[in-house]
């Protein structure tokens, strides 16, 4: 991953809350008032944010085609047009999404000159078939693929694909900040504790998150290093997780993919 683009040290990421538990990420910089938005499912909260902070929209990054990630694109483009802003919309090549200007696939690079951010693109099939993520040396925008202490449901992809996608993310540097699209951490931790009750880091983190959520604090971003310690879906190679999966479904073999498939369906029924 050493050839990953560098992110600017003056970069800023802000969460815009949408719907019940979505985060739309606003990417800013300190040298001008342009921002990019990641997965703007709701235009209204984004426009409110732009107005309140006197910002201009110059790019939209989309991770996958679900409505809560793309629903605001059209209204935001209309709003930008009224203000004579040029907005470039980036998204996955392998999904059917309206209004994309640039269709992306694995290893493509995205250079957002106006907001001084650069990314490399990962294909992450599993949650949907064409899901992508945006990565640079400090940050990962991974939509609904990796959540803190959990992962997205398999709506279109196979367990094998999702396991590979999560393994790709697990191989990133520990300090990579994980900006996922939902605040699901506390519910995910309840399940993780059932799967791996002997994991002391997991217990410590669940206590911390419980306090954060009592104070209405966001638990995102997480980090790749933390997820490797507490996220059962990133730990399918660990003996503790394999044993728990086999206790849940005695008929499985213990390949990492089968263990992943088992705990994913266990979580779906949790
Ligand atoms: Zn989704």
Cα(30) to centroid(ligand 1), Å: 31
Between the CA of 110 and the centroid of ligand 1 the distance, in Å, is: 22
Do 74 and 99 form a contact (C-beta atoms < 8 A)? yes
Ligand 1 centroid distance, CA of 143 (Å)? 7
Determine the distance separating the centroid of ligand 1 and the alpha carbon of 159, expressed in angstroms.
Answer: 16
Residue pLDDT, tens place only, 45-103 = 999 999 999 999 999 999 999 999 999 999 999 999 999 999 999 999 999 999 999 99
Q: Give the pLDDT score at 5.
A: 63
Cα of 130 from ligand 1 centre, angstroms: 11
14 bridge partner residues: 26
Residue 4 pLDDT level (bands cut at 50, 70, 90): low
- Provide the pLDDT confidence category of residue 32 given band limits of 50, 70 and 90: very high
| Sequence-distant (≥ 6) Cβ neighbours of residue 54 within 8 angstroms | 33
| 152 Cα–ligand 1 center, Å | 7
pLDDT at 154: 98
Ligand 1 centroid to Cα of residue 66, in Å, is: 5
Closest listed residue to residue 93, CA positions, set 129, 58, 41:
129
The predicted structure's pLDDT at residue 80:
98
CA of 23 to the centre of ligand 1 (A): 12
CA 127 to ligand 1 center in whole angstroms: 7
- Going from the Cα of 97 to the center of ligand 1, the distance in angstroms, rounded, reads 13
For residue 122 the two structure tokens come to 């990962």
Instruction: State the distance from the centre of ligand 1 to the C-alpha of 155, rounded, in angstroms.
Output: 8
Report the separation in Å between the CA atom of 198 and the middle of ligand 1, taken as the mean of its atom positions: 31
CA distance 135 to 126: 18
pLDDT of residue 207: 98
Q: For residue 63, how far is its CA from the centre of ligand 1 (angstroms)?
A: 9
Looking at the predicted structure, is the pLDDT value of residue 8 above 80? no
Query: What's the CA-to-centroid distance between 145 and ligand 1, angstroms?
Result: 8
Work out the end-to-end distance of the chain between its first and last CA atoms, rounded to an integer number of angstroms: 36
CA of 144 to the centre of ligand 1 (A): 5
- What's the gap in Å between 31 CA and the centre of ligand 1? 33
Q: What is the pLDDT of residue 253?
A: 85
């Amino acid at each position: 991953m050493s050839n990953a683009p560098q992110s600017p040290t003056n970069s800023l990421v802000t969460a815009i809350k949408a719907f019940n538990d979505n985060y739309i990420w606003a990417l800013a910089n300190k040298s001008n008032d342009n921002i990019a938005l990641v997965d703007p499912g709701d235009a209204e909260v984004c426009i409110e944010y732009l107005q309140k902070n006197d910002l201009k929209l110059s790019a939209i990054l989309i991770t996958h085609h679900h409505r809560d990630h793309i629903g605001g694109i059209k209204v935001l483009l209309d709003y930008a047009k009224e203000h004579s802003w040029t907005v470039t919309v980036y998204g996955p090549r392998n999904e059917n999404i309206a209004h994309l200007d640039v269709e992306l696939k694995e290893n493509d690079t995205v250079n957002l000159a106006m907001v001084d951010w650069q990314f490399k693109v990962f294909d992450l099939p599993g949650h949907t078939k064409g899901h992508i993520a945006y990565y640079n040396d400090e940050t990962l925008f991974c939509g609904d693929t990796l959540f803190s202490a959990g992962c997205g449901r398999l709506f279109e992809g196979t367990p094998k694909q999702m396991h590979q996608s999560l393994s790709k993310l697990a191989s990133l540097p520990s300090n990579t900040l994980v900006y996922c699209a939902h605040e699901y951490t506390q519910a995910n931790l309840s399940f993780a504790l059932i799967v791996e009750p002997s994991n002391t880091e997991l217990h410590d983190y669940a206590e911390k998150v419980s306090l954060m959520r009592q104070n209405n604090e966001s638990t995102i971003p997480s980090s790749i290093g933390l997820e490797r310690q507490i996220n059962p879906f990133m730990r399918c190679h660990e003996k503790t997780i394999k044993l728990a999966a086999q206790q849940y479904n005695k008929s499985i073999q213990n390949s990492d993919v089968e263990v992943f498939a088992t705990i994913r369906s266990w979580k779906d029924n949790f």
